[in-house]
């Protein structure tokens, strides 16, 4: 699939999302439910703000010394008997994985959930390169999307959030399901279907929540246990990880797991929190061959830049669960596999401004994301940073008329110009104003309001009425000047009486 | 006590009542108010749109204007604009001419309700307003300025006013400055959700500390033909004041 899921303009995607009433309702419901679960589970832990500071420090340290930690990690993986491959690009990552598939002669691949493999479009590429290869996503939501002809994910934690139980039932019927739309029956069917598949699999591909530098272990966090089967059954395992998934020690991983689970799903811990490093001598489960593919794919663009902090992200999805824009436009609205505030910051870095220059503007900068982020990424500030680069440095046209903004910049920089605006605001907007009924009392004036116009005024007035500015004589500044004149001055006759 | 009024461009252009009410309340509590005429705007519209360089002039102008009177405090009727002023030291830290001034401005600037409650220690402003109202908390005032108590504390003491909690109060109303005009299709859905929650409270009055949000929500109410009365908190606290009702906090908020 790659990062970009759609090349339609933002506006078109927004309009499509608005048509999808089921999606909007289920996102709103899930946001509201997560709000309660997340806040409760954080309160249970106590001292949440201090935990955030700790989480931020751990992630910042990992990034500051990233080359060293990556080296330490890869040395340790090799010591444990595994192989490590550094992939600068998605092509390099896919080529290496393809080489392993060929060498092992794998016929049936099982995969557990991994955003980075979606990012590098691994599934479809492997299937295209290997005739007769079977490949199965085993995370329930990813399984549903795969069976729905590789439908695009809408959330990094809940990828199938936009599918309802009837849609899932229909998808499963193609696989032989005959029951009703009860989620329990549907899940039971998927479990049996996937179990049979697991038992015959010969290669497992997993993602990686955290990679522990000082012992070369991989940390995976799931609720379904499918990642554990993906590691336990096939003889070969390939772990694919973004290069920033590193944490220095087990201790750090434990702290972050705790914060990840609470932030992602509002649980103290998920059902499965696993550390592994390939087969341990004397045991029968776990892969005999263990590969780790560490993917850059433009992440290093952020390193050392004003965007470095976005690499702190632990992919909890909390920022999408609080985002009022995501609430309405959903994952598809962003046109990226990384949606929401995280996606609006990360997608232009990984995928370039050409494809994603509209995303940094799809935010009211309300700051809910920055407030909720467990590792304190200043998301809304990074969005402004993108806007700055797009306008100041790249001089891109982005719908909002540059000239108009420059005019506002000048208007807010020169006092006399602004005073002129205050003086003539009423007259200036009067031609655009029309009389109408007053519903918003103490705000819209009987003499009329603006209901349409050019440029920004039009964007505003498409949605809401704008009161006609007061006549100059009725402005606050005029009132204040008169008010001060009438006030007794110290030393005045009046003041002394 | 000398107070400079940071009027904000929105109040200068659209909301004279808010400026007037704020001045009258502040004077009632002994503030000697000044309105420097060269002030314009905190610079948010252009800065948040990415015009960082183009906004430098606005920052410098605003700092010079607000410091042109040697006052004890600077008080503004908009949580969002005050939050912006508090960020000036960060924006100007590499400007040798303005770094110190930016810190000075930020240190003495307060949002109106915050100033009454936290600095003056006002518990009851003496106001009376009969009606059912709900309060819209602005994102920037709560999250960036970090003030989520003062308006509720002051409104709780307004005689005759019944405050009804607003569902999903934490969700943005869709204003977002130029966002509202640049992304109307998203902003409309956000403001409609907010309007829906406000209508559900059954309140007749909508109160806020941010004129920008009030402009957005009020303008949408009017477009939809739904009745509401829009009031800034300064107007509420300036309603039917009986000075004998005024009281001060026994203990200052921390
Ligand atoms: S940016 Fe923060 S809140 Fe969003 S997914 Fe990443 S860690 Fe979670």
Q: Chain A contact for B12, CB < 8 A?
A: yes
Residues of A in contact with B61 (CB under 8 A): 412-415
Is there a contact between A439 and B228 if contact means CB atoms under 8 Å apart?
yes
Give the ligand 1 atom nearest the CA of A312. Answer: 7
Which of A387, A405, A422 is opposite residue B12, by nearest beta carbon?
A422
- Give, as one character, the DSSP assignment of residue A150: S
Could you tell me if B15 lies within 8 Å of chain A, comparing CB atoms? yes
pLDDT tens digits, A308-356: 999 999 999 999 999 999 999 999 999 999 999 999 999 999 999 999 9
Find the residues whose C-beta lies inside 6 A of ligand 1: A 263, 313-319, 342, 372-375, 377, 379
Question: What φ, ψ does residue A40 adopt, rounded to 5°?
Answer: -65, -45
Block residue for tokens 């009329």: A448
CB-closest option in B50, B175, B220 to A391: B50
Which residues in chain B have their CB less than 8 angstroms from residue A474's CB?
A: 16
DSSP letters for chain B: -EEEE---HHHHHT-HHHHHHHHHHHHHTT-EEE--TT----SHHHHTTT-HHHHHHHHHHHHHHHTSS--SEEEES-HHHHHHHHTHHHHTTT-TTTHHHHHHHHHHEEEHHHIIIIIS-EEE---EEEEEEEEEPPHIIIIIS---SHHHHHHTTSEEEEE-PPTTTTS--S-TTTHHHH-HHHHHHHHHHHHHHHHHHT-SEEEES-HHHHHHHHHHHHHHT--EEEEEHHHHHTSS--GGG-EE-SS---
A126 CB within 8 Å of a chain B CB: no
Strand partners of residue A206: A239
pLDDT at B130 over 60: yes
Domain boundaries, given as residue ranges, for chain B: 2-117, 123-237
**Helices and strands (H, E) in chain A, number of each type:** 23, 14
B2-117: CATH, from 3.30.420, 3.40.1000, 3.40.1620, 3.40.50:
3.40.50
User: Phi/psi of residue A200, each to 5°?
Assistant: -105, 10
Within an 8 Å CB–CB cutoff, is residue B1 touching chain A? no
The ligand 1 atom nearest the CA atom of A264: 8
Q: Which residues on chain B are in Cβ contact (under 8 Å) with A384?
A: 47-48, 50
User: CB distance from A467 to chain B under 8 Å?
Assistant: yes
B214 and B207 in contact (C-beta within 8 Å)? no
Tens digit of pLDDT for each residue in B185-219? 999 999 999 999 999 999 999 999 999 999 999 99
Beta bridge partners of B232: B208
Mutate to test the pocket of ligand 1, among A339, A342, A346, A371 (most ligand atoms within 8 A of CB): A342
> Does residue B112 register a pLDDT over 50?
yes
Neighbours of A344 (CB within 10 A): 29
Which residues of chain A register pLDDT less than 70? 1, 393-407, 409, 411, 490-497
What are A159's two structure tokens?
């990828």
Minimum-distance CB partner of B225 among A439, A449, A470 = A439
Asked if the C-beta of B40 comes within 8 angstroms of chain A's C-beta atoms, the answer is yes
Look at B189 and A328 and tell me if their CB atoms are within 8 Å: yes
Report the distance separating Cα A294 and Cα A207, nearest Å.
10
Structure token pair of residue A313: 């992200």
- What mean pLDDT, rounded, does chain B reach? 96
CATH of domain B123-237: 3.40.50.11810
pLDDT at A496: 41
Query: Which residues are B73's β-sheet partners?
Result: B3
pLDDT score for A445: 84
Q: What is the pLDDT of residue A490?
A: 62
Compute φ and ψ for B221, nearest 5 degrees: -55, -45
Q: Residues with Cβ < 8 Å from A353, sequence gap 6 or more?
A: A389, A390, A394, A396
Q: What percent of chain B has pLDDT over 90?
A: 91
Alpha helices in A352-442 (DSSP H): 353-356, 368-372, 379-388, 402-411, 415-429
Contacts of A386 in chain B (CB under 8 A): 50
**pTM (predicted TM-score):** 0.94
Nearest CA in chain A to B145: A367
Q: Mutate one of B79, B186, B195, B229 to test the A interface: name it (highest A CB count within 10 A).
A: B186
Ligand 1 atom closest to residue A318's alpha carbon, by position in its atom list = 3
Is B37 an 8 Å CB contact of chain A?
Answer: yes
Cα of A132 to nearest chain B Cα, Å? 45
Q: Show the CA angle centred on residue A306, arms to residues A50 and A324, nearest 5°.
A: 65
d(CA B198, CA B218): 11
Q: Is B2 on the interface with A (CB under 8 A)?
A: no
Nearest Cα residue to atom 2 of ligand 1:
A373
Mutate to test the interface with A, among B193, B223, B233 (most CBs of A within 10 A): B223
> What structural domains does chain A harbor?
51-301 (3.40.50.10420), 421-486 (no CATH)
Question: Comparing A55-59, A66-70, B35-39, B53-57, which segment has the lowest mean pLDDT?
Answer: B53-57
Residue A204 β-bridge partners: A110, A237
């Amino acid at each position: 699939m790659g990062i970009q899921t759609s090349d339609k303009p933002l506006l078109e995607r927004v309009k499509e999302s608005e048509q999808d009433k089921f999606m909007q309702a289920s996102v709103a419901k899930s946001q509201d439910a997560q709000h309660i679960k997340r806040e409760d589970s954080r309160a249970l832990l106590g001292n949440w703000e201090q935990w955030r500071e700790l989480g931020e420090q751990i992630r910042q340290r990992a990034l500051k010394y990233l080359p060293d930690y990556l080296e330490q990690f890869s040395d340790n993986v090799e010591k444990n008997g595994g192989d490590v491959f550094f992939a600068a690009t998605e092509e390099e990552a896919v080529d290496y994985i393809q080489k392993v598939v060929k060498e092992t002669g794998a016929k049936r691949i099982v995969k557990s959930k991994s955003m980075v493999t979606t990012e590098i479009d691994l599934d479809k590429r492997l299937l295209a390169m290997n005739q007769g290869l079977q490949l199965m996503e085993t995370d329930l939501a990813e399984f549903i999307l795969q069976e729905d002809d590789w439908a695009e994910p809408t959330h990094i934690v809940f990828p199938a959030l936009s599918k309802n139980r009837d849609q899932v039932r229909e998808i499963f019927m193609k696989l032989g399901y005959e029951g009703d739309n009860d989620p329990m029956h549907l899940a039971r069917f998927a479990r049996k279907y996937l179990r049979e598949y697991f038992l015959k699999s010969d290669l497992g591909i997993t993602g990686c929540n955290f990679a522990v530098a000082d012992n070369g272990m991989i940390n995976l966090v799931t609720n379904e246990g499918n990642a554990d089967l993906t590691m336990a059954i096939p003889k070969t395992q390939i772990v694919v990880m973004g290069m920033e998934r590193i944490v220095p020690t087990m201790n750090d991983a434990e702290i972050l797991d705790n914060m990840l689970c609470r932030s992602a799903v509002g649980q103290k811990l998920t059902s499965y929190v696993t550390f592994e490093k390939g087969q341990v001598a004397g045991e029968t489960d776990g892969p005999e061959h263990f590969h780790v593919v560490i993917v850059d794919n433009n992440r290093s663009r952020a390193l050392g830049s004003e965007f470095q902090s976005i690499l702190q992200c632990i992919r909890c999805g909390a920022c999408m669960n609080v985002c009022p824009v995501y609430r309405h436009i959903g994952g598809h609205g962003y046109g990226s596999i990384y949606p929401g505030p995280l996606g609006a910051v990360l997608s232009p870095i990984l995928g370039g401004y050409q494809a994603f220059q509209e995303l940094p503007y799809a935010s009211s900068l309300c700051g809910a994301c920055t407030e909720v982020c467990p590792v304190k990424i200043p998301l809304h500030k990074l969005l402004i940073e993108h806007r700055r680069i797009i306008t100041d440095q790249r001089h891109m046209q982005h719908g909002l008329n540059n000239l108009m903004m420059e005019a506002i910049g000048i208007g807010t920089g020169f006092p006399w110009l602004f005073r002129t605006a205050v003086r003539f605001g009423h007259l200036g907007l009067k031609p655009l104003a029309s009389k109408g009924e007053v519903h918003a009392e103490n705000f819209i004036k009987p003499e009329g309001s603006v209901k349409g116009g050019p440029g920004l005024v039009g964007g505003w007035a498409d949605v809401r009425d704008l009161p006609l500015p007061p006549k100059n004589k009725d402005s606050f500044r005029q009132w204040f000047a008169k008010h001060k004149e009438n006030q007794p001055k110290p030393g005045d006759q009046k003041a002394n009486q | 006590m000398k107070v400079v009024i940071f009027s904000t461009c929105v109040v200068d252009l659209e909301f004279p009542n808010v400026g007037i009410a704020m001045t009258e309340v502040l004077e009632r509590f002994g503030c000697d108010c000044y309105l420097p005429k060269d002030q314009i705007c905190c610079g948010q519209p252009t800065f948040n749109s990415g015009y960082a360089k183009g906004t430098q002039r606005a920052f410098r102008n605003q700092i010079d204007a607000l410091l042109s009177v040697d006052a004890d405090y600077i008080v503004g009727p908009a949580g969002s604009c005050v939050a912006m002023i508090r960020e000036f030291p960060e924006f100007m830290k590499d400007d040798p001419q303005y770094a110190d001034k930016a810190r000075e401005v930020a240190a003495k600037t307060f949002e109106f309700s915050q100033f009454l409650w936290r600095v003056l220690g006002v518990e009851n402003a003496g106001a009376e307003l009969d009606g059912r109202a709900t309060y819209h908390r602005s994102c920037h005032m709560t999250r960036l300025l970090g003030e989520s108590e003062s308006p509720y504390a002051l409104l709780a003491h307004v005689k005759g006013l019944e405050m009804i909690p607003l569902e999903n109060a934490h969700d943005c109303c869709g204003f977002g400055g130029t966002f509202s005009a640049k992304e109307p299709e998203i902003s409309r859905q956000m403001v409609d959700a907010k309007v829906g929650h406000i209508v559900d409270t059954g309140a007749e009055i909508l109160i806020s500390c941010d004129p920008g949000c009030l402009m957005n929500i009020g303008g949408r109410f009017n477009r939809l033909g739904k009745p509401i009365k829009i009031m800034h908190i300064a107007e509420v606290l300036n309603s039917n004041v009986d000075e004998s009702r005024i009281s001060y906090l026994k203990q200052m908020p921390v």
